[in-house]
Amino acid sequence: MSAEKKLLLDVNDLKVHFNIAAKSAWPWTPPIKLKAVDGVNVRIYEGETLGVVGESGCGKSTFARAIIGLVEATDGQVVWLGQDLTKLKNEALREKRKEIQMIFQDPLASLNPRMTVGEIIAEPLKAFYPNLPADEVKQQVQAMMAKVGLLPNVINRYPHEFSGGQCQRIGIARALILKPKMIICDEPVSALDVSIQAQVVNLLKSLQKEMGLSLIFIAHDLSVVKHISDRVLVMYLGNAVEMGESEALFAEPQHPYTKALMSAVPIPDPELERNKHIELLEGDLPSPMNPPSGCVFRTRCPNATSLCAEQKPQLKGSDVHAVSCLHVA
């Protein structure tokens, strides 16, 4: 893959830690450190889709927001086309955002209710190209609306007049109007009906092929992730536990956590679904403010040993397949 396609994004040991005020009667009590993302490494190439999966609270969205600079990275590098975004400030970082855009989870909440559809989609153009003539702006907006399946005659309507699926199409048009190289999709279909989910995912795949986009696709629905992703990153408690090519990862997961996630994916065949083995996880997700020592998954892992409490495994392997487990060769 790396020999054939251009490397766009290289994330090295990315960490995002938050200081949380301790619940104490003493004002001098030091804050507690919440490790939302704790040393993630990943590479993304031109034209590919990286799916990011894991339980709620595992750091998926924080990881994505740290890439684009909406959340400040505590440590590590986010190298975009050879330039470290974590070192950029203000105008320099703002310029790079033309190349990386984001689609948010709640389609209606991410749109300004006081702006028309045309104004919402045109907003990035006006922000980055303030001297662009009004006729040119309108022409580009209408062309983008057609790409995402919106009729030109709805350009003067407001977000509340649209369904959730249509609102997400507006959000996609807004993200694509600057012709970025990468789109970060933060659970873009989780708030939509199943039939609408399929339409939005197929739209993203079509636009990706047409515009040569790279995608980071965050989702809870593993069936959707399998359908759209070239590679998949599995996160647990702020750490990357496994990463690999989508089909191989779904067919033969190596990490115990990945095995549990994949075993929960429904099978369309009723007979196979009834007879399949489901890997159940014991216990609850630990708090990121007090993670286990060593391997963060050891408190729920059926294979855990005393060594797991002493050593923190690293993600080892290649872009094709890598695992973070002391018991996987």
Cβ-based neighbour number of residue 69 at 10 Å: 18
Contact in structure between 11 and 77 (CB atoms under 8 Å) = yes
Query: Any idea of the CA torsion for 190, 192, 197, 201, to the nearest 10 degrees?
Result: -60
Residues of the chain with pLDDT under 70: 1-3, 25, 272-273, 329
Contact in structure between 150 and 169 (CB atoms under 8 Å) = yes
Any idea what DSSP says for residue 150? -
DSSP string over 40-76: EEEEEETT-EEEEE-STTSSHHHHHHHHHTSS--SEE
pTM comes to 0.90
- Residue 275's pLDDT is what? 76
- The domain spans of the chain are 7-99+180-323, 116-179
Residue with tokens 């599995």: 234
Topology, domain 7-99+180-323: Rossmann fold (3.40.50)
- Residue 2's pLDDT is what? 45
Distant-in-sequence, close-in-space partners of 321: CB < 8 Å, separation ≥ 6: 243, 244, 245, 248, 249, 254
Closest CA to 253 of 236, 274, 271: 236
Kind and range of the H or E element at 147?
helix 134-147
